Each structure stands twice: as C-alpha cells, then as structure tokens.
Structure 1
C-alpha cells in the first residue's frame, strides 16, 4: 500500500484519556480511567464483558459525552465534538458488529470511506470537471491501494452482504483505512472468526503498524492475539482500570487473573 510520507511524530502521546468518568442512570460505565497512546503504538484494552471497553471507544469517537475527565487527540480536546468532527481530525473506527452497506459492492463501501477527503461542490460533481474529477480519481487510486494491501481483489465487485463474514470484517477494516486515519480504533476485529481468518487479520494489523505506522487501540477478547500484537495492555473491570503494562506484566498480574478467573494467582 502506498502511504504518504509520515509526519514527524508528536512529542508525547498522540491520544490522552485522562480521569474519564461516564455513568448511565447512576451506574458507572467508566470510572476514572486514564491512559495515553504513543505514536505508532498498538495499545490494547481488555476486560470481561461489560467492563467498559466499548464505552471507552464511544467516548473517544464522540458517541458518548463523559460527565468528567478530558480526552485529547494531538493536543485537541475531543469532548463535545460530534462523531463526524472527530473523524475529520483523523480518528477512524471499526465495529464489533459489521457496519457496512450490505447492498453495495466492496469497491463502493471502500469509496465511501473517502468521503472525508473529498472537497468539492455539487456543480463540480455534476459537471465531472476540474477539482471533482481530480479528487475522485485520487480517491479511486487510494482505494485500489487498499484493495491490494488487504488482498480484496477477487471480491471487489461483489455485493458485501453476500460475502463470508471474515471478508466483510476485512472490508470494514479497509473502509477505515480509506479515511487515511492518524489513529485507528479496532473493536473486536477477530470476533466470530475461525483460526485462519484470525491469523490473516493479525497479519494485516501488523502490516498496518509496520508499513503505514498508524497508532491503534485494540479492544479484543482473543488473549492470544492481544498478547502477541500489543505493545501495552490496559485492563478494565467494572469500568475501573486495574492494570496497565506490557503483555508479560499483564499476563502475570494477580488482579488480572482474578478479574478473568475469579480467583487470586
């Protein structure tokens, strides 16, 4: 995949999630969670079902507005911004449940991911001249790179809703990449996949980090995948951060073992 020359890395974390509190009807979904994501880091968030992992993603992407705390992306405050504004800053997301346009082709779904990059008016679009033509051709070239990068060539003209589940998840990853993100949020990217599909997805995630250099936050229940891929891991339980460290540190942490197994180490 042809990526633009990387920008100089920012000093310090590209994303800071500071003492965030979010509750619904008095029940805490996130309770004082803090972490930072470094440039080019693959940062994982794990925890039992209902621990608050997806709520963290929803706060970052503007779906939820927390009652306290601060979230900044490259120095810009995210709290109070709408989801499309946050996407415009360079934060892209995949979803636990596939959120594609099932009646459109793979190519069309990927082209929709370029919407944030298009800058022309209705008259230019109808005339198919000048800025509109150049922008659409550039968008198509970028999408072709993604098709090649994710090995989607044989499905490019297929209707997404008729494709195997694992391929749909790959298309959703491609649509997020089409936004040219500066931070990628991956919400259970291998959920429901078989072993072969999981291994393929792990390879693509590694390629994104190594070839494109996009920092990622990964929420995932597959502990083998997390421990193999992540640079650091945050563990949450009942909305509270109980551990933060390297995969080796997390694997041996008594509080993490208790949260998952219900007993001390």
Structure 2
C-alpha cells in the first residue's frame, strides 16, 4: 500500500561558504507516521529542520507540505499552513505562566483586532474562550495542572520542555517537528516525554518528524528512520534495518562491526 504523505522532500541541498550542510536529502513522512532523522553531531539534522520551517532557504530541491511547495516560504507562512516546531534549547518566556506560554501558541487562530479585544464582544470573546478551552485540553493531556499558574522559569527542566511541546500543540498542527525533545533530561523525564510523543501520534493523529540523539528512544518510537552524515543521506528504513546497516554503523562507530 502506498504511503499517504503529509511531507515530501526532494533532493534538498544547502551550503554555507562551500560547506555542504544538506547534500541531496530526500524523504517523506506519512500522515500517521513518526519519522526520525538521526546522525552524528554536525550531520545536518537541524539544518534540515531549518529548511522545513523556513529559517533557511535551500539552494535547490523541493519541500511539499500538505500538497503545497513551501521551499523558501517565510516561517510564519509555513506555521500558518500547519507546521509546528520545538527547539533543542527551551524557547519560553520565563516570567510568564504556563498558561500564558501556551496561549502564545494560539496566535494563528486569532482573527480579531485590538478594538474587538478591548470591547470583549463578538468574535474576540468567542475566539478567546475557544483558545482558553483548547489550552485547558493541552494542560490535561500533558499533565501540567499543578504548574499551570506558575512562571515557567521556576519549573524543572523536563516540565519546561513539556510546556514547549504544549505550545506547539496549541497551534493545532498538521505536522509536528520535534528537535531533540529529550535532550538534557533524566531517565524519568525521558520516559514521560516518550509516552506523550506516542500519545500525540496515536491519540491526536498528528504525524511527527523527530530529531534525537537518544538512539534507544528513536528505535523504540520511530516507524521509519533516516540517517544522515555530513549532510548526505546514507540509509532510510525501519529501526531494525537501520541498526544493522553497515553504512550506519560506520558513520557512528568509524568501522563495520563483525557479526
């Protein structure tokens, strides 16, 4: 059966001062799939994310998201089409509460102007109440109730990462890009995040594109895996296939291990 895709990338290429950050990368993500990109440090994983989200414009190649070519579009336009992203480092407003940070993810759903907001009538009232209801659903889903009114700067790191995930979910995305979602977490926090990631795919029906260094997590969660090295794709397949691919072993360990 053919894969029904939400994202298709064709022969992406990107370079900086002669250095090839992305060198002929092609892959697709299914509409109910958790697809992972792995590779050594400097392999080009985050550069791929930056192209997909509009931070970088590729020198060549196509990015088709939900049937539309988005290569070269600005980040806000791509976000408005339904692509949400988290980052390696927590990018939250430390002095704002959990609820306030989550509400910021609703910006694409706000259609009323400042006068309507002041009057608190009509569209402004309806949209605000709808956004608050959506945020409360996310609070319950990510088990953030006990921290909902606390400034995020006072929260444990693992909870902050969960809030950032919630802010991305608040956009009601068609595709979720997770850039090292468990980086810097302890084992308990990692297990919690893994559970939420699976729930997002399975319960919310949101496809996920994941970049992560935790190989145990990737092999447990991903449906398919793309391996890149020095910007080049070297293998794509199911986790079990990737683990035994000699090119993948060579990229990570420097040699092919005997079987």
Q: Calculate the TM-score normalised by the size of structure 2.
A: 0.97
How far did 1:122 drift?
1.6
Q: Does 1:71 align with 2:63?
A: yes
Select the residue among 244, 254, 260 that pairs with 2:246: 254
The equivalent of 1:45 in structure 2 is: 37
How far did 1:70 drift?
0.5
The equivalent of 1:156 in structure 2 is: 148
Q: Secondary structure at the match of 1:63?
A: coil
The equivalent of 2:110 in structure 1 is: 118
Q: Secondary structure at the match of 2:146?
A: helix
The equivalent of 1:102 in structure 2 is: 94
Which consecutive segments of 4 or more residues in structure 1 shift more than 3 A?
none
The equivalent of 2:28 in structure 1 is: 36
Q: Does 1:91 align with 2:83?
A: yes
- The answer on whether the counterparts of 2:180 and 2:210 sit within 8 Å (CA) in structure 1 is yes
Q: Calculate the TM-score normalised by the size of structure 1.
A: 0.95
Q: Does 1:232 align with 2:224?
A: yes
Q: Does 1:24 align with 2:24?
A: no
How far did 1:14 drift?
1.0
Q: Does 1:12 align with 2:4?
A: yes
1:11–1:233 distance in 2 versus 1, CA, 3 Å: closer
Q: Does 1:217 align with 2:238?
A: no
- The answer on whether the counterparts of 2:56 and 2:72 sit within 8 Å (CA) in structure 1 is no
Superposition pairs for residues 171-250 of structure 1, below 5 Å?
171-250=163-242
CA distance in 2, matches of 1:83, 1:76: 15
Q: Does 1:143 align with 2:140?
A: no
How far did 1:11 drift?
7.5
CA distance in 1, matches of 2:4, 2:69: 15
RMSD across aligned C-alpha pairs, in angstroms?
1.0
How far did 1:22 drift?
0.1
Query: Unpaired segments of 5 or more residues in structure 2?
Result: none
CA distance in 2, matches of 1:172, 1:22: 28
CA distance in 2, matches of 1:113, 1:38: 24
- The answer on whether the counterparts of 2:58 and 2:72 sit within 8 Å (CA) in structure 1 is no
Q: Secondary structure at the match of 1:200?
A: helix
- The answer on whether the counterparts of 2:54 and 2:71 sit within 8 Å (CA) in structure 1 is yes
CA distance in 1, matches of 2:3, 2:80: 21
Q: Secondary structure at the match of 2:203?
A: helix
CA distance in 2, matches of 1:245, 1:106: 38
